[in-house]
Amino acid sequence: MSAVVTQVEYPTPLRTVSSRLFFGCGTASIILYVLLAAVFWTDAVFNRTRTIEIFQYVVLAVLTVLYFVGLFRVHQVSPRSIIAFGLAFAMLGFMITPFDSTDVFFYMAQGWLQTHYGGNPYANVLRDIPNVASDPMIQSRWMELNHNPWLDEPIPYGFAFALLARFVAWLGQGDLWATLMLFAIINLGVHCAVGFLLWNSASMIPGANPKLILYLYAWNPLVLLQYLANLHNDIIMGALILLAFYCLCRRRPMWVLATLAIAGFVKYAAFALVPLAVIRVFRQFGAKEAIKSIAVAAVVTAALSHPYVWDVRSFKYHEVVSQLSESRGSMHGFMMYPLTAVFSTLSPIVHVDLGLVSRICRRLLWLIVIVFGVRELRRAWRRSVASPIEVAVRWTSVLFAVLFVGSSQFYSWYIGMIFPLSLLCVGVSRVSDILVLLSGTHMIGFSFLRFNHFAYFLIATIIPAALVLRWRERLRKEP
């Protein structure tokens, strides 16, 4: 996708028309975001009529189309125009209340469990609270939408995010709307920080197009709706990974591993990059700097772990592992759907343990990820000097393998963990170009289709990835 965009050049007579079309896409998008905000500030969130559902699908589909139409006009406008519209979109996303997910209310409840009840979110669950049914911070209207499935689940995130949730809940002082607003402000700040880091990081990469990269992030409807409206925390991990990469580019190796450690203690997938980062720091800056970086990361790890590890024997490991192993919208779910159909048909003849088949598939997928990861580690070790783009491509590829191949569950908002860093490789890496298209196709994650795990992964991931690979192959063969 991006490989094609970077080649687009319009003749001079058409530039004015192209620029007007770009501004038209931006203005139309603003109107659509305003409509979304207006509708979901009413009780439409709690009274999902057929009309509301159709309205939502149409608006999200048009926003996605406008995003890709504007993408082919980026070269004809100034960075100031991209930033102005991007800021307007960010403020509108900030103003839209959560309409598709209750995750942020789970964050709030976990923070309240700590600051008000003195609980450890890794050793206690919400149901342990005596008056849980009457606490509005836990039994909000949003949580009732899906019957609050979190009551028996420990927090599945790392210590850094648990501390952040506790701090925000302490600031909110039991006020639901104040606490929600604080989480929204944090995500808005992170969103703006990502834009800043992308611009500055792209400026240090030879051949990168900062204007295109900023557009791909700041105008992206998946980013705006999943992280500014629905307030998922994946963008925090994505921002920290980008910050670690930025520190590496600015020759600040001491902070690289510490930043990745914090990212891993937001969502654990970031730990997959630590071995690659250790090798890069050691090979590029020497053993002394590597030791310093490891020491700082160890101090950060100890500081983040200190409030919780005293109850380590009471941690609910089994519940967390079970939650993270649920097969939803992933490659694993995609594989299990036809296998389940086949073995269910054969069940009168041959008994097959589907649980065993599921475990075999899961381990096979993780074996593929491990083999790929070891290959990337070996390639990283052989390079004493690596360009920023090479590092970004390698980190992006490993994260892509972890999230899209190994992980037993996948939701559209998981893209935020990898999307910011991947944008620095657009036009260079096949994985990055695939992710640009996936950020559009995974908008169907807002629809009922996400509950059909086979169809969802096929339509939102497999087919778009194949199209991009075929497109790039055709470009490579063209003279």
pLDDT digits (tens, 9 = 90+) for 280-291: 999 999 999 999
Residue 151 included in any domain = no
Q: Each residue of 459-468: pLDDT tens digit? A: 999 999 999 9
Say if residue 14's pLDDT is above 60. Answer: no
Q: Each residue of 15-60: pLDDT tens digit? A: 565 688 899 999 999 999 999 999 888 877 788 888 888 999 999 9
Residue 367 included in any domain = yes
pLDDT score at 224:
96
pLDDT score at 1:
53
pLDDT score at 446:
87
Residue 208 included in any domain = yes
Say if residue 435's pLDDT is above 90. Answer: yes
Say if residue 263's pLDDT is above 60. Answer: yes
**Following DSSP, what letter does each residue of 21-76 receive, concatenated?**
HHHHHHHHHHHHHHHHHHHHTTGGGTS--HHHHHHHHHHHHHHHHHHHHHHTTGGG
* Partners of 328 in beta bridges: 409
Residue 145 included in any domain = no
The angle subtended at Cα 293 by Cα 402 and Cα 239, nearest 5°, is 45
Give me the domain span that covers residue 384: 2-101+178-311+357-477
Q: Each residue of 198-219: pLDDT tens digit? A: 999 999 998 889 999 999 999 9
Please give the average per-residue pLDDT across 150-169, as a whole number. Answer: 93
Residue 339 included in any domain = no
Residue position matching structure tokens 């659509």 = 32
8 A C-beta contact, residue 172 and residue 178: yes
Please give the average per-residue pLDDT across 112-116, as a whole number. Answer: 93
8 A C-beta contact, residue 319 and residue 153: yes
Please give the average per-residue pLDDT across 334-348, as a whole number. Answer: 82
Say if residue 268's pLDDT is above 80. Answer: yes
- Give how many domains the chain has, as a whole number: 1
8 A C-beta contact, residue 221 and residue 64: yes
- In angstroms, the first-to-last Cα distance of the chain is 19
| 132, 282, 463 from 405: Cα distances, Å | 38, 29, 15
Say if residue 336's pLDDT is above 50. Answer: yes
Beta-carbon contacts of 454 under 8 Å, excluding residues fewer than 6 positions away, are 333, 334, 337, 338
Residue 478 binned pLDDT confidence (cut-offs 50, 70, 90):
low
Provide the whole-model pTM.
0.92
Mean pLDDT lowest among 64-73, 96-105, 125-134, 283-292: 125-134
CB-hemisphere CA count at 13 Å for 211?
A: 15
Tokens for 372, please give them: 């790929």
Averaged confidence pLDDT in the chain: 89
pLDDT score at 472:
79
pLDDT score at 17:
59
Report d(CA 185, CA 451) in Å as an integer. Answer: 30
Residue position matching structure tokens 């919400």 = 126
Residue position matching structure tokens 């759907």 = 337
Please give the average per-residue pLDDT across 127-140, as a whole number. Answer: 85
Report d(CA 17, CA 361) in Å as an integer. Answer: 52
Q: Of all residues in the chain, what percent carry a pLDDT higher than 90?
A: 65
Residue 78 included in any domain = yes
Beta-carbon contacts of 413 under 8 Å, excluding residues fewer than 6 positions away, are 101, 226, 227, 230, 232, 234, 445
pLDDT score at 166:
96
Tokens for 243, please give them: 């910050």
pLDDT score at 7:
45
Residue 154 sits at φ, ψ, to 5 deg, of -70, 165
pLDDT score at 477:
67
Residue 401 included in any domain = yes
Please give the average per-residue pLDDT across 102-119, as a whole number. Answer: 93
Q: Of all residues in the chain, what percent carry a pLDDT higher than 70?
A: 95
Residue 338 binned pLDDT confidence (cut-offs 50, 70, 90):
confident
Please give the average per-residue pLDDT across 441-447, as a whole number. Answer: 90
Please give the average per-residue pLDDT across 308-323, as a whole number. Answer: 87
Beta-carbon contacts of 284 under 8 Å, excluding residues fewer than 6 positions away, are 253, 384, 385, 386
Residue 287 included in any domain = yes
Tokens for 156, please give them: 């599945």
8 A C-beta contact, residue 325 and residue 408: yes
Residue position matching structure tokens 């008994």 = 351
Q: Each residue of 375-421: pLDDT tens digit? A: 999 999 988 888 999 999 999 999 999 999 999 889 999 999 999 99
Beta-carbon contacts of 270 under 8 Å, excluding residues fewer than 6 positions away, are 237, 240, 241, 260, 263, 264, 417
pLDDT score at 350:
72
Report d(CA 442, CA 235) in Å as an integer. Answer: 16
pLDDT score at 318:
86
Say if residue 12's pLDDT is above 60. Answer: no
- Please tell me which of 44-58, 255-269, 325-339 the model is most confident about, judged by mean pLDDT: 255-269
| 284, 295, 297 from 254: Cα distances, Å | 12, 9, 9
Residue 63 binned pLDDT confidence (cut-offs 50, 70, 90):
very high
pLDDT score at 9:
47
